[in-house]
Each structure stands twice: as structure tokens, then as C-alpha cells.
């Protein structure tokens, strides 16, 4: 079949010419495969083993690890190689720059460096090393000699140039022989010494091989065709197999027979061979295995393999590209990563695919590593995908239609893999889901609590709570809450100046019902007959400046709606005029009743009526603090701001001075102190610490005022400050001493005692120690129940309508549009009386009024006999006790006190 010619090539002129043609035509593209030369090479022998490989970074540089120091130390670190091969004690590489061999290590048969060339300008396409020799397959010739192949060999008994008829695809060197594979008819042939191997005469005839690989005394080839089986031959193989089998029977060595699996590649060791299985890419070895051998890695896919004498190594087919060795005597230290194949400059041939795992292992432009595709799929498998230029063919068992044991076992393996995956992953996934759910729950709960904490006093959006018109009490008798829809609809009505002028009869003196620090109050009757109180601001030059705040504030205040609040109905803003329109309170203020003329009014307010008013006022303030949203701090709770409507219900008025305060009473507003002397929270005016507890303080003063009938500040007494006077008496149990002498004390003082105690708590120096308004309200309601004859204070609080029903307790006023009541006549006198109250700044009511003007308008010279005396009298003890509790006042605070009071 083939004819082998042996001769020396002497026609250098022709050779040179042919090589030139090869270069010009770029005949690299005609090269089919690279035979046994590889990206990895293994050396073995008495000097130790070594693993050399081309680096995985595509640099074509070589790296060697192992115990053969001669190889490791002489490794050319800066020389680029196309591929590598190795024998006993030496490694050779094909130089990239001139396609010639270069060897390093120690061998008495092979010259280190570039072995002496057999001819000038020769270039090789493949190298293959035997035990003690090296052969190189020259690049194909062209022209008439294109069917002639040249192989140069160096080393023991081998140094010679060989010429073969026919184009050789690849060569493979054995122990003392070599074999070649013709590219056209895929036949193989061997030459050299076959004394111990018998491989030359044993070459199988008429068998076409895809690939061959020589070992120590045998050759194995992958037969062309679908099966891609391995066929090994060599007389020594057979005889050694017999010997080995005999020894194996004695338990000394193991022998594995060649597998029937289709193979992708095969390599030969001294007495063994290994191959990469086509479908699984797993490695399988056969032949003789010394009993110290380790098994090839199971379940690991490999790209490239190479064999030494009693061991083999491969490159793991994953991103790591790490080498792995098995058998006996392999190097223990290995490179981290090596190239999965040799780089070539032409595109991959049919049956090969381009390796690409994110980064290319070839740096030279246009070069690539081509890896062999898996063979046809076996009968029980189906092709999941074909071999393409970029990817290997994928074969899979049809697990839904298994007819063979192999298929079932593979499917069960797949199932097991899936099972294993789930057994490992399921707890993690479940854990993650549980963690995620818990996290969401915790975050949600935290958010809910945070929002509830922030809005704990905010209940703006409570729906479905309807007000009883005019009574203003919720049907459940509980806390009063605004109806959202109603609030949305309710807006401050804008009145024209003419409208209000007409209503009040031109703001005449007759229609004036009161006078405050910054305003006069007139009674008016609107076109529709509604009786209103029109509060007209004293004119101020910078009134316009605060127009926007005025509007915003009015808009907010007009949304407040409670039975015990004096509701703002509307306003007028024209030019410099600022007018507020309120519901008209026919029975004047609590101040008028307690301290006004005629004195009879005072005694008309019996204990039940007084406590009822206290409860109703407390409810109004509680609404401002707890149910208005945002919460409102009144800042000016006093008896003149508790108005009495026609049904004798109390209405908290003048929250025009209120600031929209923080929901949290622990986050004070830094505002200038405002309010009325005697009612003003000392913590607030000392520290500007404004909270809802400031209103609680003022309310405590109001309670003392209700109980004693004394003004908050009354200079006709030795102790003019009601708190300084009443609290010590209450604390010492002398409750009777503070009760209003205008009224007969009730037989049972318990209810009034409780109210007095509540008052004491309200006027505590530290706001934090004062009760909140809802607690105050509850305590007052219970006291009222007790006062009205309820046997136990544990009795549930009676609904407000029942306890305080206006029809049962007060005489209903006859007409809404009636003229001034008998009380109204006393208002003028009352106004004077009120002027003893000292006011701090209020921008919301009418911001332009300067504090000096306010003092002027509200304080007559006669009221303050001696400012120094009164200051000391009024604040001496109060400040002392405050300073005992919260430290001395700063100079600025003193200045402020002196300036404002
Ligand atoms: N809606 C009303 N219905 C009837 N009378 C009212 C009404 N509003 C106020 N008054 C009377 O007018 C007086 C003055 O009220 P105004 O609110 O202007 O001042 P004040 O609150 O008494 O004092 P200051 O403005 O210094 O705080 C009140 O004391 C009250 O007698």
C-alpha cells in the first residue's frame, strides 16, 4: 500500500525554493492537525519527572514544574514555542520564530539547544520525542515533490533524515521506533528498531486511522469512522500483556483492556495508553498499571493529555485549565494553568471547534486553538447540538425513552446530579426565602411601628367617625375625631370687607364685644342670618409681608373642627385689613364669669358647671394635641380664651396664636416664648422648649383658677402667682384653703381634691413630668362623675352627652340672632379687666404687632405699679423653684423676661 523511501535530501536549492513557495502561499492552512506534539509535554527518567506546558495566557511561553532540576533550571522562559514534546530527561519545543526544534534538560543522545539541522532553512510542522531521540516532520513540500514527506530524527540510533512517499499528517515516536500517519489514505507505518516492540511488522493493514500515538513498545490509533474505537498493536504489547496478566493473577500488577468507547485522542506511555472519551471527555487508561498508580480523574473533563513512562497528565476542561496527573512517578508540583492546545493561524477544520472560554489562549492575531469535536452520537443518544466552529457537538441520552441500561444509569446519574443539586441547594434556597420573608416582615413591622410612633398623635384619616352637629361629640362617646371628608370640604371662607362691615354695622362701638391685645372683636350678623364674631386686627405697617403665612395658617386652622373649639369660619384680607370670622359665643368668656361683673355671675358657676367647663376645655385641647394633624399647640390657654356658647358649653378659642407643633412632645420647637403671663410654662419661656406640655401647664393654671376663683396673677394678694400660692397648699392637704369662697364647698371634697392634684401635676416644672391632655381629660371626667354623685371613681366614664348634656345642664339660648345677652353688657368692663394679662409675641394672629405695642395695648400703667416689685413678686419664687429644678437662667433669658414681662 505504501512505499517507504529512505534517502538523504541533498538538493538544497530545490528545498529552499519549495520552502519559499510554502511561505508565499501560506500553506500553513494545508496542515492538518499537529499530531502528537501538544501544548503540554512530560519528561520522565532516572533524573526525575517534569511537566512542561505552554502558558494559558496565549504568550506561547513555556513553564515547567517537577523534580528534574536539569529541565526546570534550563527552561527557556522567554522563547516562544508552537508546541512541545518530551522524552527521557529532556523536553523539546518547536520554535515559533523559525519552526525549528529547541531542546533543554539532559540527554546524552540529543544535543541541547537546536539539534544540528539536516539541511539549511528547514522548517518543521511537528515534533515527536521517543525515549532517547527526537523526530521532526518537515513542512510539506510543494510542486513535483508535494507527495513526498521528510522527517528528520536525532538521538540514539536515529540521527538521520527520512524521505517518505506520500503526504504525512503526523508522526509519533516510540521507545526506539517511530510511526507516521498518511494524510490521504489515513494509513499508518512505522520505522526504527522493532526488536522489542514488533510494531513495524504489526502495523494493521487496510485500517484507516484518525490519529496515532506511540508508546514504549506499542502503538495505539483511533480508527476512522463513527465508532472511533482504539486499536493498539506491538508484539511486546501482546507478550507484555500476557506477562502482565500472569502477574496480575498473582496480584502484582493490574491490567486493563483497551476500551470500546469512541475516543477523541490517545497517548502512549511505556506500558500503558490513555485516551479521552468522545462523549464525556473523561480520560480512560488501559495496559499495565503498577500497583502504586493512581487512577485517572473520574467525572473530570479533559482537553489535552500526554504520557510519560508510568504516568500521564492532562489539562482540565474548565476555566481553570489546571493540569492534572495520575499513574506513578508523576511530578507533584504542576503549573497553575496551561494552554488547552497549540495555537494555529488557520481556521479550524471540519470536526474541530475553536476553543473560547472567555479569553483566547492565543495572543498572536488570527491564531486559535482548535479542539476535536466529539464523534457521532451513539445509537441510544441523540444529538442535542451539532459540532460548529465555536462549540463541540453535544450528545444526550433521551431519558424519557430509555431502552438500555447505560441510558438508564446515565439518566439516573443525571437525576442523581439533579437530586444532589437540589439536596444541596434546596435548604439554601428555602433558607434564603425564609430569610427574605422574615426580613420583609421585620422591615414592615419596624416601618409600621415607626410610622405609628411618629403619628401616634395623628389620626387625621380616621373615616367613618361622624360628628353630632353642634354637640360635636362622637356617637360612641369616646374621643372626638374629625371627619376627613368634612375636613376636606371645610375651608376658610373668604369674606369681603364690605360684607363684614355690613354685618357688624360698620364696626361700631355698639357691636364691639371685646378687645384683645392685637384686635377688637365685633358681633356681626351675616346675610344668611348667622351670628358671627368678627375679629379685626389693629393695623400694622408690615401686615402684607406675612400674607402667605397668614393664608396657610388660616387654611390649616379652618380645618380644625371640634365641639369644644371655637371654629374659624372665614377671613377677610383686603389691603391692610385682616379680619377673622368666628362662631359667635353668646355667653362670653370663662374669665368674664369668674372675674367679671356682676359678681353674681361667679356664683352662678357652681362646682359641677365649673368642672364641666374644665372637662370640655380639656377635650378641646386634647383634640388639638392628639387628633389634629399635624398636632396644634395652643400656646395661650387661659380663662379669657375659654368661651361659653349659647348652650353653655365651653369652647377653646384663640388658637390663632397656636403653632403647628411637633407630633412628638419631646421634639420642641425653637420659637420665641408666647402666651399670657401667669399661664406661661416656665420651661418654655426659660428654655424655649415648646411642647404640648406647655399647654398642659397653662391648663393646670386654668384648673387652679376654676377651683379658687382667683386670677392667674392677682396682685392684690400677698402671693400673686396662683401656682406659687395654691400648689403648696394642695400638697399639704389644705384643699379647702384654695377653694373659691364665692361657692359653698361640697360635702365630699374628694372630686375637687383630685382636680387639685391634677392641677398640681399639670404645673410641674419639667414638661416631661406633666401628664398628657388625654390623661388630664380622663382624670377630670372621673372627678366630674364623682362630683355628680357617682359612687366609685372606677365607674366607666359616662358619655359626654349624658353627663354634660346641655339640655339638662344649661338653659338653651333662645335665638341665634338675638342681641347681646346680659353678659355682653359686661364685656366692656371685662376687657379692661383682661388687660392685666401680659402678652408675649404672636405672629400668627397678627404678626406685625411689635411686642412693645402689645404691652402698651394690653397693659395699663396702673396695672403694673412698680415693674421691679411686680417682677420680683411674680417671678421670684417661681424662678427660684424652676432654677432649683432646671438650673439658673442665662443672662439672655433674664433679659427676655425683663423685656417681655
Ligand atoms: N367668638 C366670640 N364670640 C363672642 N365673644 C368673643 C368671641 N371672641 C372673642 N370674644 C370676646 O372678645 C374678647 C377679646 O378676644 P380676643 O381673642 O381678641 O382677645 P383675648 O384672647 O381676650 O386677648 P389676647 O388677644 O390678648 O389674647 C374675649 O375676651 C371675648 O370676651
Residue 583 Cα: closest atom of ligand 1: 1
Give which of 199, 239, 202 is closest to 218, Cα–Cα.
199
Is residue 827 in contact with ligand 1, taking CB distance under 6 Å?
A: yes
**CA angle (175 as vertex; 174, 181 as ends), nearest 5:** 15
User: Range with the lowest mean pLDDT among 313-317, 519-523, 829-833?
Assistant: 829-833
Pocket test for ligand 1, best of 653, 656, 816 (most atoms within 8 A of CB): 653
Q: State the distance from the centre of ligand 1 to the C-alpha of 535, rounded, in angstroms.
A: 8
Residue 579 CA, ligand 1 centroid: distance in Å: 13
Q: Does the structure show a pLDDT above 50 at 846?
A: no
Each residue's pLDDT tens digit, 336-395: 899 998 888 878 888 888 888 766 778 777 788 888 887 767 667 777 888 888 888 877
What is residue 247's predicted lDDT score, i.e. its pLDDT? 62
* Per-residue pLDDT tens over the stretch 24-39: 333 333 333 334 789 9
Cβ of 272 below 6 Å from ligand 1: no
Contact 642, 810 (CB under 8 A): no
Q: How far is the CA of 609 from the centre of ligand 1 (A)?
A: 21
Judge if the beta carbon of residue 533 lies within 6 A of ligand 1: yes
User: Is residue 60 lining ligand 1, measured as CB closer than 6 Å?
Assistant: no
Q: 539: pLDDT confidence band, cut at 50, 70 and 90?
A: low
Distance in angstroms (rounded) separating the CA atoms of residues 722 and 711: 7
Going by pLDDT thresholds of 50, 70 and 90, the confidence category of residue 198 is confident
d(CA 237, CA 382): 36
Residue 483 bears catalytic tag: no
DSSP string covering 32-53: ---TT-BSEEEEBSTT--EEEE
Output the CA 839–ligand 1 centroid distance in Å.
Answer: 14
Q: What is the tens place of the pLDDT at every residue in 786-831? A: 988 754 444 434 333 333 333 222 333 333 333 333 333 333 333 3
Residue 254 backbone phi and psi in degrees, to 5? -115, 145
Q: Which residues are annotated as a binding site for ATP?
A: 535
Q: Is the pLDDT of residue 230 over 70?
A: yes
Q: Which pLDDT score is estimated for 549?
A: 57
Q: What is the pLDDT of residues 540-565, one digit of tens each?
A: 544 444 556 566 667 667 777 888 98
What pLDDT is recorded for position 688?
Answer: 74
Is the CB of 514 within 6 Å of ligand 1?
yes
Nearest atom in ligand 1 to 651's CA: 1
Q: Which atom of ligand 1 is nearest to the CA of 518?
A: 25
pLDDT above 70 for 639: yes
Has residue 43 got a pLDDT over 60? Answer: yes
Ligand 1: does its nearest atom lie under 6 Å from the Cβ of 679? no
219 vs 170: CA distance, rounded Å: 14
CA–CA distance, 301 with 265 (Å, rounded to integer): 13
The ligand 1 atom at the shortest distance from the C-alpha of residue 519 is 18
**Nearest ligand 1 atom, CA 592:** 31
Beta bridge partners, 162, equal 151
Whole-number pLDDT of residue 644: 92
Checking if the pLDDT of 620 tops 50, the result is: yes
Q: Would you state the pLDDT for residue 249?
A: 61
Q: Residue 589 has what DSSP assignment?
A: B
Q: Which range among 46-55, 266-275, 613-622, 666-675 shows the weakest confidence by mean pLDDT?
A: 666-675
Ligand 1 close to Cβ of residue 532 (< 6 A): no
Alpha-carbon torsion angle 330, 336, 339, 341, nearest 10: 30
Max avg pLDDT among 418-422, 594-598, 629-633: 594-598
Q: Of all atoms in ligand 1, which is nearest to the CA of residue 636? A: 27
For ligand 1, the distance from its centroid to the CA atom of residue 643, given in whole angstroms, is 8
Kindly state if the Cβ of 587 falls inside 6 Å of ligand 1: no
Active-site residue (options: 392, 636, 645, 695): 636
Answer yes or no: is the C-beta of 585 below 6 A from any ligand 1 atom. yes
Mutate to test the pocket of ligand 1, among 589, 675, 822 (most ligand atoms within 8 A of CB): 589
What percent of the chain shows pLDDT beyond 90?
36
Which of 503, 521, 819 is the pocket-test mutation for ligand 1 (most atoms within 8 Å of CB)?
A: 521
The alpha carbon of 868 and the centre of ligand 1 are apart by a number of angstroms equal to 29
The average pLDDT across 420-430 equals: 77
Is 90 exceeded by the pLDDT of residue 650?
Answer: yes
Higher pLDDT, 880 or 591: 591
Calculate how far, in angstroms, residue 842's C-alpha sits from the geometric centre of ligand 1. 15
**pLDDT for position 1:** 37
Specify the higher pLDDT residue, 184 or 400. Answer: 184
Does residue 546 contact residue 843 with C-beta atoms inside 8 Å? yes
Q: Which three cell numbers stand for residue 167?
A: 503526504
**Is 52 a residue whose pLDDT tops 80?**
yes
Tell me how far the alpha carbon of residue 517 lies from the centroid of ligand 1, in angstroms: 9
- pLDDT confidence tier of residue 242, bands split at 50, 70 and 90: low
Residue 414 has pLDDT above 70, yes or no: no
pLDDT in tens, 261-273: 888 899 998 888 9
**The ligand 1 atom nearest the CA atom of 641:** 21
Weakest mean pLDDT among 182-191, 421-430, 432-441, 789-798: 789-798
Integer Rg of the chain from CA? 55
Given ligand 1 and candidates 512, 515, 516, which is best to mutate, with the most ligand atoms within 8 Å of its CB? 516
Query: Would strands 568-574 and 493-494 be described as parallel, antiparallel, or unpaired?
Result: parallel
Predicted confidence at residue 493, as pLDDT, reads: 83
What is the atom index within ligand 1 of the atom nearest the CA of 854? 26
pLDDT-derived band of residue 612, with 50, 70 and 90 as boundaries? very high
Whole-number Å distance between alpha carbons of 512 and 534: 9
pLDDT classification of 155: cutoffs 50, 70, 90: very high
Most confident of 11-25, 331-345, 408-422, 759-773: 759-773
Question: What pTM did the predictor assign?
Answer: 0.44
Nearest CA to ligand 1 atom 29: 640
Residue nearest to atom 19 of ligand 1 (CA): 516
All three cell numbers of 279, joined, read 462523549
The better pLDDT of the pair 840, 142 is held by: 142
**Amino acid 471: pLDDT:** 32
In this structure, what are the phi and psi dihedrals at residue 49, rounded to the nearest 5 degrees? Answer: -105, 160
> What is the pLDDT at residue 656?
55
Calculate what percentage of the chain has a pLDDT beyond 70: 71
Diameter of the chain measured on Cα atoms? 150
- For residue 284, name the pLDDT band (cuts at 50, 70, 90): very high
Taking the C-alpha atoms of residue 647 and residue 654, their distance in angstroms, rounded to an integer, is 20
pLDDT for res 654: 81
Cβ(634) to ligand 1 under 6 A?
no
pLDDT in tens, 673-725: 567 888 989 888 777 777 899 999 999 999 999 999 999 998 888 888 999 99
Most confident listed range (397-411, 535-549, 636-650):
636-650
Mean pLDDT, residues 3-18: 36
Low-confidence winner among 315-324, 327-336, 390-399, 785-794 (lowest mean pLDDT): 785-794
CA of 522 to the centre of ligand 1 (A): 9
pLDDT score at 532: 94
- Could you tell me which residue, 607 or 459, shows the higher pLDDT? 607
Residue 241 has a pLDDT of 58
Higher pLDDT, residue 63 or 605:
63
Protein residue with least CA distance to atom 18, ligand 1: 516
pLDDT of res. 350: 81
Q: Is the CB of 635 under 6 A from ligand 1?
A: no
Contact, 264 vs 393, CB < 8 A? no
Ligand 1 in reach of 566 Cβ (< 6 A): yes
836 lines ligand 1 (CB under 6 A): no
Mean pLDDT value across residues 218-225: 89
Ligand 1 pocket check for 511: Cβ under 6 Å: no
Average pLDDT, the chain: 75
pLDDT tens by residue, 95-106? 999 999 999 998
Per-position DSSP letters for 39-103, written without gaps between them: SEEEEBSTT--EEEEEBTTSS-BEEEEES-HHHHHT--TT-BEEEEEEEBTEEEEEETTT--EEE
Could you read off the pLDDT of 253-262 as tens digits, one per residue? 566 777 888 8
Complete DSSP assignment for 124-184: EEEEEE-SSEEEEEEPPP-GGGGGEEEEEEEETTT-EEEEEES-EEEEEE-SSEEEEEETT
More confident residue, 143 or 888: 143
Cα(728) to centroid(ligand 1), Å: 32
User: Residue 155 in 3-state DSSP?
Assistant: strand
- Cα–Cα distance for residue pair 560/411, rounded to 1 Å: 75
Q: Is the pLDDT at 634 greater than 50, yes or no?
A: yes
Amino acid at each position: 500500500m505504501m512505499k517507504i523511501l529512505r534517502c538523504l535530501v541533498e538538493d538544497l536549492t530545490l528545498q529552499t525554493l519549495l520552502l519559499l513557495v510554502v511561505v508565499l502561499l501560506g500553506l500553513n492552512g494545508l496542515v492538518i492537525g499537529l499530531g502528537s506534539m501538544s501544548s503540554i509535554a512530560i519528561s520522565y527518567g532516572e533524573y526525575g519527572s517534569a511537566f512542561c506546558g505552554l502558558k494559558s495566557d496565549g504568550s506561547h511561553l513555556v513553564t515547567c514544574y517537577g523534580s528534574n532540576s536539569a529541565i526546570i533550571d534550563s527552561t527557556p522562559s522567554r522563547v516562544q514555542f508552537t508546541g512541545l514534546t518530551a522524552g527521557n530527561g529532556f523536553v523539546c519545543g518547536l520554535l515559533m520564530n523559525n519552526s525549528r526544534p529547541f531542546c533543554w534538560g539532559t540527554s546524552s543522545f540529543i544535543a541541547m539547544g537546536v539539534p544540528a539541522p539536516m539541511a539549511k532553512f528547514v522548517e518543521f510542522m511537528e515534533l515527536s520525542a521517543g525515549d532517547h531521540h527526537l523526530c521532526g516532520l518537515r513542512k510539506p513540500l510543494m510542486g513535483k515533490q508535494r507527495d513526498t514527506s521528510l522527517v528528520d530524527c536525532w538521538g540514539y540510533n536515529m540521527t538521520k533524515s527520512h524521505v517518505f512517499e506520500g503526504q504525512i499528517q503526523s508522526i509519533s515516536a516510540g521507545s526506539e521506533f517511530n510511526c507516521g500517519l498518511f494524510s490521504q489514505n489515513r494509513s499508518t507505518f512505522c520505522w526504527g528498531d522493532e526488536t522489542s516492540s514488533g510494531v513495524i511488522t504489526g502495523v494493521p493493514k487496510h485500517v484507516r486511522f484518525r490519529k496515532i500515538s506511540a508508546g514504549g513498545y506499542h502503538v495505539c490509533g483511533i480508527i476512522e469512522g463513527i465508532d472511533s474505537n482504539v486499536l493498539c498493536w506491538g508484539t511486546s504489547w501482546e507478550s507484555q500483556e500476557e506477562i502482565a496478566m500472569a502477574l496480575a493473577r498473582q496480584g502484582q500488577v493490574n491490567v486493563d483492556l483497551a476500551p470500546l468507547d469512541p475516543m477523541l485522542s490517545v497517548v502512549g506511555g511505556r506500558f500503558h495508553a490513555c485516551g479521552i472519551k468522545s462523549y464525556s471527555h473523561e480520560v480512560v487508561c488501559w495496559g499495565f498499571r503498577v500497583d502504586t498508580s493512581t487512577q485517572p480523574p473520574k467525572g473530570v473533563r479533559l482537553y489535552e493529555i500526554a504520557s510519560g513512562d508510568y504516568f500521564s497528565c492532562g489539562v482540565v476542561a474548565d476555566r481553570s485549565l489546571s493540569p492534572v496527573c495520575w499513574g506513578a512517578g508523576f511530578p507533584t508540583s504542576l503549573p497553575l494553568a496551561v494552554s488547552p492546545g497549540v495555537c494555529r493561524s488557520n481556521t479550524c477544520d471540519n470536526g474541530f471547534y475553536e476553543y473560547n472560554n472567555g479569553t483566547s489562549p492565543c495572543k498572536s492575531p488570527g491564531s486559535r486553538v482548535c479542539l476535536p469535536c466529539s464523534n457521532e452520537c451513539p445509537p441510544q443518544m441523540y444529538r442535542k447540538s451539532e459540532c460548529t466552529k465555536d462549540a463541540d457537538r453535544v450528545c444526550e441520552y433521551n431519558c424519557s425513552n430509555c431502552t438500555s441500561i447505560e441510558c438508564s444509569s446515565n439518566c439516573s446519574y443525571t437525576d442523581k446530579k439533579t437530586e444532589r443539586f437540589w439536596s444541596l441547594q434546596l435548604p439554601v434556597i428555602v433558607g434564603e426565602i425564609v430569610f427574605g420573608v422574615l426580613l420583609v416582615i421585620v422591615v414592615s413591622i419596624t416601618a409600621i411601628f415607626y410610622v405609628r410612633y411618629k403619628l401616634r398623635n395623628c389620626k387625621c384619616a380616621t373615616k367613618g367617625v361622624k360628628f353630632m352637629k353642634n354637640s360635636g361629640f362622637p356617637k360612641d362617646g369616646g374621643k372626638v375625631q374629625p371627619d376627613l371628608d368634612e375636613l376636606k370640604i371645610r375651608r376658610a371662607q373668604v369674606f369681603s370687607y364690605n360684607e363684614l362691615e355690613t354685618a357688624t354695622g360698620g364696626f361700631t362701638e355698639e357691636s364691639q364685644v371685646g378687645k384683645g391685645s392685637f384686635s377688637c372683636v365685633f358681633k356681626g350678623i351675616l346675610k344668611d342670618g348667622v351670628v358671627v364674631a368678627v375679629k379685626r386686627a389693629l393695623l400694622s405697617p408690615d401686615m402684607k409681608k406675612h400674607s402667605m403665612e397668614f393664608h396657610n395658617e388660616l387654611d390649616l386652622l379652618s380645618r380644625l373642627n371640634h365641639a369644644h373649639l371655637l371654629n374659624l369660619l372665614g377671613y377677610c384680607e383686603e389691603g391692610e385689613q385682616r379680619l377673622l370670622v368666628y362662631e359667635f359665643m353668646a355667653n362670653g368668656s370663662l374669665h368674664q364669669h369668674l372675674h367679671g361683673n356682676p359678681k353674681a355671675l361667679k356664683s352662678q358657676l357652681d362646682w359641677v358647671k365649673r368642672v364641666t367647663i374644665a372637662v370640655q376645655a380639656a377635650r378641646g385641647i386634647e383634640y388639638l394635641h392628639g387628633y389634629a394633624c399635624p398636632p396644634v399647640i395652643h400656646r395661650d390657654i387661659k380663662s379669657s380664651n375659654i368661651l361659653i356658647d349659647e348652650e353653655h358649653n365651653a369652647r377653646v378659642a384663640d388658637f390663632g396664636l397656636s403653632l403647628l407643633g411637633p407630633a412628638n412632645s419631646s421634639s420642641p420647637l425653637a420659637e420665641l416664648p408666647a402666651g399670657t403671663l401667669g399661664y406661661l410654662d416656665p420651661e418654655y419661656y426659660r428654655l424655649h422648649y415648646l411642647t404640648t406640655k406647655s399647654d398642659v401647664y397653662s391648663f393646670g393654671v386654668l384648673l387652679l383658677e376654676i377651683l379658687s376663683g382667683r386670677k392667674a396673677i392677682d396682685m392684690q394678694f400677698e402671693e400673686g402667682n396662683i401656682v406659687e400660692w395654691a400648689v403648696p397648699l394642695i400638697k399639704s392637704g389644705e384643699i379647702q384653703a384654695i377653694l373659691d369662697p364665692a361657692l359653698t364647698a361640697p360635702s365630699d371634697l374628694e372630686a375637687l381634691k383630685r382636680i387639685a392634684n391634677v392641677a398640681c401635676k399639670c404645673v410641674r416644672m419639667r414638661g416631661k413630668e406633666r401628664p398628657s391632655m388625654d390623661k388630664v381629660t380622663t382624670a377630670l371626667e372621673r372627678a366630674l362623675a364623682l362630683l355628680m354623685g357617682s359612687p366609685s371613681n372606677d365607674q366607666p366614664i359616662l358619655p359626654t352627652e349624658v353627663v354634660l348634656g346641655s339640655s339638662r345642664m344649661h338653659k338653651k339660648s333662645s335665638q341665634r340672632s338675638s342681641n347681646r345677652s346680659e353678659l355682653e353688657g359686661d364685656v366692656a368692663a371685662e376687657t379692661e379687666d383682661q388687660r392685666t394679662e401680659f402678652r408675649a409675641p404672636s405672629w400668627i394672629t397678627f404678626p406685625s404687632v411689635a411686642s412693645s405695642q402689645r404691652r402698651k395695648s394690653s397693659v395699663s400703667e396702673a396695672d403694673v405699679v412698680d415693674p421691679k416689685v411686680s417682677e420680683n413678686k411674680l417671678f421670684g419664687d417661681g424662678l427660684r423653684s424652676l432654677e432649683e429644678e432646671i438650673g439658673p437662667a442665662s443672662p439672655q433669658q433674664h433679659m427676655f423676661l425683663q423685656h417681655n414681662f
